[in-house]
Amino acid sequence: MKTLLLALFASFAFADTPPVPKVFKGMQGQKGQYQVEVLEGAGKSAGRKMTLCTDNLMKPPAEGKKKGSESNCKYKLLKDTADEATIESTCDQRTSVVNIKRESAKTLLMSMQNDGPKGPTSMKMRYTHIGACREGQGTMSLDPNSPECKQMMEQAAKMKDRETAARLTAMCK
């Protein structure tokens, strides 16, 4: 579900589908680094913080992606004001409704209700723009002292595939 919210957030930067809601227009830097704070839902992730570099999400898809891998999602902009937007997306057997409220010039509050084959879920996250992405920064970074990073570092140390291990540990820098 985190991935859906992150992808949905990033997809608003594109001019085509879905349309950019007014709540994003004029915001200080659609591109850049955002601190993402999971406020509610998402199981064990609630209360966690991560950093999202939207520059990476806004890059064109890599060459050579499989044909037919495009999303068959449909989007509806249910509410569209300068301070709030509500977007409904329907993908296969899942329907999600995301509500985005502008809290300040740099902060958005997103809540999502999801209804699909695994039952209903909900989640609330705060996105705060914190500046430009760092050189070479990955799409998502976690707090190096977080339990998730400690676990990833332990797993990476045991891996034979050093390339995969390096990608795992890069999220914790």
Per residue of the chain (173 residues), what is the pLDDT tens digit? 344 344 445 444 443 355 678 887 766 556 788 899 889 886 666 677 888 888 766 665 554 444 444 567 888 899 999 999 999 999 888 899 999 999 998 899 999 999 988 889 999 999 998 888 888 778 888 888 888 788 888 888 888 888 888 877 888 87
Q: Are 95 and 74 in contact (CB under 8 A)?
A: no
Q: Is the pTM of this model over 0.85?
A: no
Clarify whether residues 95 and 31 are in a common domain.
yes
Clarify whether residues 123 and 168 are in a common domain.
no
Q: What is the CATH number of the domain that holds 127?
A: 2.40.128
Which three-class secondary structure state does DSSP give residue 154?
Answer: helix
Provide the residue range defining the domain that includes 152.
Answer: 143-173
Clarify whether residues 108 and 172 are in a common domain.
no
Taking Cα atoms as reference points, which of 77, 68, 81, 91 lies closest to residue 18?
77
